[in-house]
Chain A
Amino acid sequence: MANFNRRSFIATAGAAAAALPLVGGKAFAQEKIKVGFAFLGPIGDYGWTWAHNKGREAVNAAFGDKVETVYVENVPEDASAIPVLRDLAQQGCKLIFGTTYGYMDQMVQVAAEFPDVKFEHCTGFKRADNLATYNSKFHEGRAVLGTIAGKMSKSGVMGYLGSYKVPEVVLGVNSFMLAAQKQNPDAKLKLVFIDSWFDPPKEAAATETLLNLGCDLVTTHTDSPAALQILEQKGLFGFGQGADMSSFAPNAHLTAIEDIWGPYYVERVQAIIDGTWASTDTWDGFKEGTVVISPYNKAIPADVVALADGVQAGYKDGTYDIFTGPIYDQDGNLKVKEGEVIGLGDLAVMDWFVKGVESAS
């Protein structure tokens, strides 16, 4: 395993690029297969990127000496992702995973430049012959959290700490809210976007703001345990994101959605080895084991646990879908008729919030 930070990586990549014409591109052909990862945050965020890195470690464990993985942390979601992706390709990576929505157009561009390299974009929807997309149905997990929240919030006013208004987060908000409303029809959800995936002090201050505005439970769609720690101090409840965060907030942590990327990454690396890789669109959830719910907090009553388990079981056997009509939007217009279900294609680009969600922007 090569452990690069971004700066030493750029230096190394520069040296590698300079050496390339001498070595010749074929030099890599008989070597072990190199797999690259572009990460949004630090692998130590204990959330989103941490979970992706666990997936990378699963690849190392599964293939041993046959595969080498490299990663770059803290790759911004702007044009500066392009040289990073390009450098990974020039280093000889055969398969490159871009692990956040914001790399979408950058990956489309770099994939076109390197037709022999396979690219995989997490949570995106633009594909090409050598650019696949993969995602996880986090919203299935959010339906479990919403079910619990609807029962555990005494005031019925809940907070949602969001990052950006991208489809993944919109789906999470709507799924959480619809599930909560099934338990408490009067539930309200105050939504705040902090314009960052990872900013612990801002996450903490935003959580305090939500509590100040009357929320008695906050769920997070940002990547650090900061919100949970504030809730722990105030004796209130919340949920972990991306990983079991109960060690940070043993009382406040009701449960968490864990992202399990390992099996998918192993499967895709195997496809490269076998020569069977194809540009696909994968969207797994509870059924495939990509979404897992952490152990429940003992504070959750048995009947609520049963409800939450029921949602999980329903997703596994296909009898439950939170996006089943009737669903109204924020202004009260009927968007989904009784009995209809929103299709995956529409979910992937969802940009409106359901009734009861209060947002400023």
Chain B
Amino acid sequence: MDSAFIISAIITIVGISTPILLAGLGELVVEKAGVLNLGVEGMMLVGAIAGFAVTVYTGNPWVGVIGAAAAGALSALLFGFFVLTLNSNQVATGLALTIFGTGLSSLIGLSFVGRIVPQFGSVFPREMAIDPIGRLFFGYSPIVYFALIMVVLVAWFLKSTRSGLILRAVGENDLSAHSIGYSVIGVRYAAVAFGGAMAGIGGVYFSLVITPMWAERMTAGRGWIALALVVFASWRAPRLLVGAYFFGVLMWLELNAKAGGLSFIPGAELIPSQFWAAMPYLMTVVVLALISMRDRIGSSAPACLGKPFLPAT
């Protein structure tokens, strides 16, 4: 195992982790506001096709990313209308959003199969990303750096700003937040829209960066991993970053186990690749168990998560 191997492994891991990091970060804010949106997979697909379509028409992937964020936010607002204004069941509506997003993206995508799009330019001058160490730091797609900046921003927003405090209050105790005059529904709409926009950008990472093409269901279940990731991170942005890359390592291990590339680990050939594929979910269950054991001291899940807001009239 030489340094070139490790560096290209890290580059692969960063690449496969970025969409779940983006979508997970959006969902984290949504859940912090007390809303459970299981439609991440659907919003990612809507973002993937919308961003691809916009890029095809404008020829500019940056405009495509904005289109993806807008489409993700719009589909999330549709979800918001049902669960926030009409108080429908969040779990059922979220699942419906996934089914809707899958179908809608396939429908829109019919005329985009086989099309090709222009690529992002690099953020840093190309000369910086020639040698392996340079590639490790300066060779990624702009969306990768955007995701890292967003981790810092979201962590700072939730921890250190007044708006972040209000958002958390709405998620922890909606009735109290309401009684001191904050608009619970308004805050939740904003959070849901943000979550949709982030899922949309996570989705467009598939159709513009990983494989610049449109293929139906191309996110292939990563929205569900993003949902697991939020729980795994126990609703904290810095842990979400660590968790996303950790899940990325597990996905990388799965692929290498299949390809016989883990010979540097003694005994690795005895572990079937399916074990690594199941690990993200297994680890999430373990974290859930740890959280509930610790809950006697203080809960980490937002107290109002998934509950409709029904103020006494």
**Contact assessment for A212 and B8 in the assembled complex, using a CB-CB cutoff below 8 Å:** yes
Chain B residues within an 8 Å CB radius of A359 = 260
User: Quick check: is A112 within 8 A (CB to CB) of the other chain?
Assistant: no
**Contact indicator A46/B259 (Cβ below 8 Å):** no
Q: For B103, list chain A residues within 8 Å (CB).
A: 5, 7
CB distance from B17 to the nearest CB of A (A): 10
A155 within 8 A of B: no
Which of B212, B215, B222 lies at the interface centre, i.e. has the most chain A CB atoms within 10 A of its CB? B215
- Given A7-B99, A7-B103, A224:B215 Cβ within 8 A: yes
Nearest CB of A to B8, in Å: 5
Contacts of A7 in B (CB 8 A): 99, 103
Query: Are B211 and A224 within 8 A (Cβ)?
Result: yes
- A42-B216, A200-B215, A201-B222 known; A5-B259 Cβ under 8 A: no
Closest residue on chain A to residue B109 by CB atoms: A44
Q: A residues within 8 A CB of B258? A: 192-194, 206, 360-361
- Complex Cα–Cα for A34 and B165 (A): 62
The closest CB in chain B to the CB of A50 belongs to B113
Contact assessment for B255 and A206 in the assembled complex, using a CB-CB cutoff below 8 Å: yes
Query: In this assembly, does A308 line the interface, its C-beta being within 8 Å of a C-beta of chain B?
Result: no
B5 touches A201 (CB 8 A): no
Contact with B along A19-49 (1 / 0, CB 8 A): 0000000000000000000000110111000
Would you call B55 an interface residue if the criterion is a C-beta within 8 Å of the partner chain's C-beta atoms?
Answer: no
- Interface pair A190/B260, CB less than 8 Å apart: yes
Q: Are A45 and B216 in contact (CB under 8 A)?
A: yes
Tell me if A17 counts as interface (CB < 8 A to partner B).
Answer: no
Rounded to whole angstroms, the CA-CA distance of A304 and B15 in the bound complex is 36
Chain B neighbourhood of A190, CB < 8 A:
259-260
Cα(A192)–Cα(B273), bound, Å = 11
Task: Flag whether B106 is at the interface (Cβ < 8 A).
Answer: yes
Residues of B near A107 (CB, < 8 A) are none
Residues of A182-199 whose CB lies within 8 A of B: 190-196, 198-199
Is A109's beta carbon under 8 Å from chain B? Answer: no
Q: Say yes or no for B16: interface residue by CB 8 A criterion.
A: yes
Given contacts A208-B8, A212-B9, A226-B211, contact A201 B259 (CB under 8 A): no
Chain B proximity of A228: nearest CB distance (Å): 9
Residue of B213, B214, B258, B259 with most chain A CB atoms under a 10 A cut-off: B259
User: How near does chain A come to B16, taking the closest CB pair, in angstroms?
Assistant: 5
A205 and B257 form a contact (CB under 8 A): no
Give A22 to B219 CA distance when docked, in angstroms.
Answer: 43
**Which residue of B214, B218, B256 is within 8 Å of A201 (Cβ)?**
B218
How many Å from the CB of A191 to the closest CB on chain B?
8
Interface residue A210 (Cβ < 8 Å from any Cβ of B): yes
Question: Most B CB atoms within 10 A — which of A199, A204, A209, A226?
Answer: A209
A230 and B255 CA atoms in complex are apart in Å by 16
**B54-82 interface code vs A (CB 8 A; 1 in, 0 out):** 00000000000000000000000000000
Contact bitstring A332-361, B, C-beta under 8 A = 1, else 0: 000000000000000000000000001111
Q: Could you say which of A42, A200, A248 contacts B206, with CB atoms under 8 Å apart?
A: A200
Contact B211 A200 (CB under 8 A): yes
From 149 to 201 in chain A, residues with beta carbon under 8 angstroms from any chain B beta carbon are: 159, 190-196, 198-201
Point out the residues of chain B lying under 8 angstroms from A361, CB to CB: 257-258, 272-273
- Complex: A361 Cα to B255 Cα, angstroms: 12
Tell yes or no: A213 within 8 A of B by CB. yes
Q: Looking at the assembled complex, report how far the CB atom of A102 sits from the nearest CB atom of chain B, in whole angstroms.
A: 17
- Residues of chain B within 8 A (CB-CB) of A248 are 116, 213
> CB of A202 within 8 A of chain B?
yes
Q: Is A74 an interface residue (CB 8 A)?
A: yes
Bound-complex Cα distance A51 to B2 (A): 42
Residue pair A44, B9 in contact (C-beta under 8 Å)? no
Give the CA-CA distance A206 to B255 in the complex, in Å: 6
The chain A residue with its CB closest to the CB of B251 is A205
Q: Which residue of B lies closest to A205 (CB)?
A: B16
- Chain A neighbourhood of B252, CB < 8 A: 205, 209
Determine if B217 and A209 form an interchain contact, defined as CB atoms under 8 angstroms apart. no
Chain B nearest CB: distance from A112 CB in Å? 32
Residue from the list A42, A191, A193, A206 in contact with B217, Cβ < 8 A? A42
Instruction: Tell me, rounded to whole Å, the shortest Cβ–Cβ distance linking A169 to chain B.
Output: 13
Q: Which residues of A are found within 8 Å of B260, using beta-carbon distances?
A: 190, 213, 358-360
Tell me if B106 and A213 are in contact (CB < 8 A). Answer: no
| CA gap between A222 and B114 in the complex, in Å | 16
- Shortest B130–chain A CB gap in Å is 13
User: A45 → chain B, closest Cβ, in Å?
Assistant: 6
CB closest residue in chain B, given A211: B8
Asked if B153 is at the interface (CB within 8 A of a chain A CB), the reply is no
8 Å CB contact of B12 from A41, A50, A74, A208:
A208
**Chain A neighbourhood of B282, CB < 8 A:** none
- Whether B259 lies near A229 (C-beta < 8 A) is no
User: Which residues of B1-27 have CB atoms within 8 Å of chain A's CB atoms?
Assistant: 5, 8-9, 12, 15-16, 19
Closest to B217 in A: A42
Quick check: B114 and A247 within 8 Å, CB to CB? yes
In the complex, what distance in Å separates the CA atom of A200 from the CA atom of B113? 14
B interface residues (Cβ-Cβ under 8 A, vs A): 5, 8-9, 12, 15-16, 19, 99, 103, 106, 109-110, 113-114, 116, 206, 210-220, 222, 251-252, 255-261, 269, 272-274, 277
Q: A41-B216, A198-B220, A205-B15 are in contact. List 11 more A-B contacts (CB 8 A).
A: A42-B106, A46-B213, A190-B260, A192-B258, A193-B258, A201-B16, A201-B220, A204-B211, A206-B259, A212-B8, A358-B260
20 contacts between A and B (CB under 8 A): A5-B103, A7-B103, A42-B215, A44-B216, A46-B114, A194-B255, A194-B258, A195-B277, A199-B220, A200-B215, A200-B220, A204-B210, A205-B15, A211-B8, A212-B9, A213-B256, A213-B261, A224-B218, A225-B211, A360-B260
* Nearest 8 CB-CB pairings of A with B: A42-B216, A360-B260, A192-B259, A44-B113, A226-B211, A209-B255, A199-B220, A192-B258
* A residues whose Cβ falls under 8 Å from a Cβ of B: 5, 7, 41-42, 44-46, 50, 74, 159, 190-196, 198-206, 208-213, 224-226, 229-230, 247-248, 358-361
